[in-house]
Structure 1
Amino acid sequence: MTMSYLLVDGENIDATLGNSILGRRPHPDERPRWDRVLTFTEDTWGQPAKGLFFLNASNGLPMTFVQALRALGYTPVPLSGTPDQSVVDMAIQQMLEAIRERDDDVMLVSHDGDFLDSVTPLLDGERRVGLIAFAEFRNSGFHSLISRGMEFFDLEHDTLAFNTELPRMRIIPIEEFDPAQFL
């Protein structure tokens, strides 16, 4: 039986949330509810999902967060390296390459264009490949992958991973436009 691998680039999501959306470090209640993202992946593709949460632990392991991730059903992947290494990106790229050898589906949670070269070969017409991100901040290189079968999901609006509405400027598809929201 195939399964879905949910690969979370936590640093990328946290940086986008803090720097680009909130303009400050997110408060705990403004962070994604990661259990909802895992459930969304399972429900959307109708199969079990293995959540892998990649962490840069070069300066130590955030044990409270790691324990919380485990309790939510994720496998934390703590990594270390030199300051000039993007260990999370390196590990996710290696994981995407390893998944190529399997029949499983993959859902990536990131905005990072560094994954384009690793994601593209997965779009073989045999597996499902998805990206969960804030739509307005995902790397524009991902857009060309729609025609090859890549699916996109908004981290806030599709997964419902947040308890509060984020102050985002969302591009509204015309079929979702509701004039009452602006009256």
Structure 2
Amino acid sequence: MSDEQGLSTYVLVDGENIDATLGASVFGRRPHPEERPRWERLLGFAEAEWDQPVKGLFFLAVKDELPMSFVQALTSIGYQPVPLRGGPTEKVVDIAIQRTLAALTQRADDVILVSNDGDFLPQMEQLLGTRRLGLMAFQEFRNSGFRVLESRGMEFFDLEYDVRAFNTKLPRLRIIPIDEFDPLDFL
């Protein structure tokens, strides 16, 4: 592997994990459509932040039929949908993302994973130090193993505060840097 900068950035989206985090940890219920991320902002942020073209892969678990309206929407905003099916207990999205991360070790491209899930730590660690590597997730909900990778050079981008992927402020409790503290948020 050469140490030259990658030609593009792959943005690998575990939308199921982000949706589950919003539902279980942020809202305590299934999120409404307007409460979900504006997925196109992730691609725009990655392209601007790392100043190179992006290729977004959005991994989906499907049963029998493609959710065509969602697939068409993803395609129209620049993602390549990756619809997957497996057995009832298989985590097909996790398996596919793990395989994709492993395959990316053979390429020079940069990588941003969109997930809070620690199931990807071994593959992310393999990529660390060989290219720019990033994680888009929720600071307080990401697997603690990602903090170790951050201390070794992986970049972290909070979906709400850095990427600004949401149209409304989420009801999250986080440690606030004093420079970002706005008392009006609490009044």
TM class by smaller structure = over 0.9
Alignment of 1:1-183 (within 5 A): 2-124=7-129, 126-179=130-183, 181-182=185-186
Q: Deviations over 1:137-166 (max 9, x none)?
A: 000011011222100010111111111111
Q: Separation in 2 of the partners of 1:83 and 1:51? A: 27
> How high is the TM-score relative to the length of structure 1?
0.95
Deviation at 1:92, TM superposition (A): 0.2
Counterpart AA for 2:15: G
**What is the TM-score normalised by the length of structure 2?**
0.93
Q: Distance in 1 between matches of 2:60 and 2:184?
A: 42
Deviations 1:43-90 (A, max 9, x none): 010000000000001242111100000000100000000011100000
SS in 1 for 2:59: strand
Structure 1 unmatched ranges of 5 or more: none
Report SS of the residue matched to 2:46.
Answer: helix
Aligned-pair Cα RMSD in Å: 1.3
Which ranges in structure 2 are unaligned for 5 or more consecutive residues? 1-5
Provide, for residues 76-130 of structure 1, a one-character-per-residue CA deviation record: whole Å limited to 9, x for no partner: 0000000111000000000000111111100000000000001001012x41100
Tell me the SS of whatever aligns to 1:100.
helix
- What is the alpha-carbon distance in structure 2 between the residues aligned to residue 57 and residue 180 of structure 1? 43
**Number of aligned residues:** 182
State the identity as a percent.
65
